[in-house]
Chains A and B, each alone.
Chain A
Amino acid sequence: MPFVVKLGWSLVGVVAAIAYGLTIGGLIRKVMARIQGRIGPPVWQPFIDLGKVIFQRTATQHGVMFYLAPIFRAGGGMGLYLLVPVIIGVPALENFSFNGDLLLVMYFIFFGSLGMALGAAEAGHPHAPIGISRGLSQMTAYELPFALAMVALAAQVHSFSIREIVIAQQGSVLHWNLFANPLAAAAAFLAFLGMNMYSPFNIVGAPQEIPVGPPTEYNSKFLSLMMSGRAILAVAKIVLFMDLFLGGAHSLLEVFAKTLVIYFWSVFVGAVFPRFRTEQSIRFFLGWPTVAGLAGVLLVLVR
């Protein structure tokens, strides 16, 4: 398939990923409402919110970095999505995956937060710097078990290519890394809780402490950009985890099923737990998840 066609397909995939992420957001609000005994908003509520926010206009003036931050965030999400193959074997849906893309993916996951850190400094509201400092410190904490899990997988298949990892898991369900290397999977999925910023790890937003963290001053177009960036980042992350641990997918239906399972794992955890303090969350990630990641690496090396 020529590059231009592939690029076009990938851009279509980006738009579809944003829509899928927003739908997942609506599903989450619905499910959380059901858990809390409420009826909940319609599933398409995030689309309405997005449209409303786009039709707003801002009257505030900050710095350039303030306006660039949501672009960084959305860009990080899109770059991450463009690197992760959705379905191996369908050229339209395996994006620009190349050997060693795992390293770049690990960078892109944290790219958005770094962009927010640049922008939050210009928000002028103290909640934004406080929130972003919390976010970055928590990020460095859960990056460690996540990176260890990635290293374990890479050492397992002797390649840093997501494609290789997915191909190595084919054949049987037991070949999935979820079962082939359960320790690395445990480390990665615990880090996934921190990535998704759901309770008990939602210390960045924290409406009861620093409402609402870095996006405090954002409204209108910039907020809509952040919403879509968050959506596509979530989709890219769950697709990545599906590729790494659940053996990829062969059909879109399988993609939806596996990604929803992965995502709602963090939602259900968040439904029943209060929020950690910052240092408690850091201690958590540097505790058992890191140990599990190290053990996963050792398991691969001694095997």
Chain B
Amino acid sequence: MTEILDQIRQRFGAEWQHVQRPDLLQIGVDAKKVVPLLTWLKEHTPFVQLTHLSAVDWIEEGQFQLTYLLTDPTAHVSLMVCARIDRDAAEAESVSALWPQAVTYEQEINEMFGIRFPGSPRQGVPFILEGWDDIPPMRRDFDTVAYMNTRHPPRPGRKHTDPRAYVGQVFGERGFLHDD
């Protein structure tokens, strides 16, 4: 099944590739090549299903990673296409023209990460949050504890225990939850 990776490398060029499992191939391409690659995959290869679309925040590199998971429903193989985009000018091309349900993914990524998908409908339309007035919550630099302490203060008297000490004194040194 790796010949599809070779074809992709010839046609579009790959930054890296990896075979995680026999049924899960991973390849990293340039962000500008993503939509042509996905179009080619959808039109000329059996990878016709967009199973999953997600984003990862690599704040150390100052980059966002977009992950498209395509599935071949006949040969039962999945191809994971990864692309890095700049974190400050977070903008990527939309694939909602290829797959209608990508609108939902892009809407959520836009809301949760602040990545813009020009041309995709429902950009900026609140999907999950309502009246959100902070930086997009799924970014790594958003501190949920600080936000929670200012917005919804906890009930006084809640005790916080260090898991290492607590689990150590309860479950012994191995610190796992079963008895054998």
> Do A and B touch directly, given a CB cutoff of 8 Å in the complex?
no
Interface positions of A (Cβ within 8 A of B)? none
Interface positions of B (Cβ within 8 A of A)? none
